[in-house]
Chain A
């Protein structure tokens, strides 16, 4: 059974710091990896996708993928209080299959 593991947190960082969120997955054939952000009481929204090994940057967000280690991470630079949310890691096993989500890491950014 496919599993996606995340540290539940909470991860607390001061405003302006770098927040590092980590995720491991069990299915070696997984091809696509996603980070969703979920504010309290709201629905998840996609913020990053990554498909190949290495780094992918989008503004203050950087996703990192290491398929050999089955490891995905999300870095948030210059963290803002508005980044306080739960971040869900999601993995797609094969083309046409649905996403499997981790339980999420709660991030708290203090001003």
Chain B
């Protein structure tokens, strides 16, 4: 069974450009989470969805960040315009229905570098 799939794995872009990160959760999982990881701040929750509906987006840094989940098998995290301080590894994770939401399955992450 395929795990959580993220793309791209690596993205290098220039300040001001739009960045779109993509995630396909494990089939049948009804929670989807976006986290960001940096050395300074650790693993931070950005937003999470339940059954495609955003539940808590209080971790989204500012209006430059937006996330969507148009269906159960796809989510995007968009940064527009990007800034150097957005450089980080962005992880998508999903969890299964009925399970405690702490048992997360992470994708391999998207490493973003904004020059």
By a beta-carbon cutoff of 8 Å, the part of chain A in contact with chain B is 32-34, 42-46, 49, 51, 88, 90, 92, 95-104
Contact = CB atoms under 8 A, between A and B. Distances in A.
Interface of B: 33, 35, 41-45, 48, 50, 55-56, 91, 100-104, 106-109
A44 B43 contact: yes
Contact of A104 (B42, B50, B101, B103): B42
B22 to A, nearest CB: 16
Contacts of A49: 100, 102-103
B48 A98 contact: yes
A79 to B, nearest CB: 23
Given A43-B107, A43-B109, A96 B43 contact: no
B43 A88 contact: yes
Given A49-B103, A103-B42, A104-B43, 10 more contacts: A43-B108, A44-B91, A44-B104, A88-B42, A92-B101, A95-B100, A98-B101, A99-B45, A101-B35, A102-B42
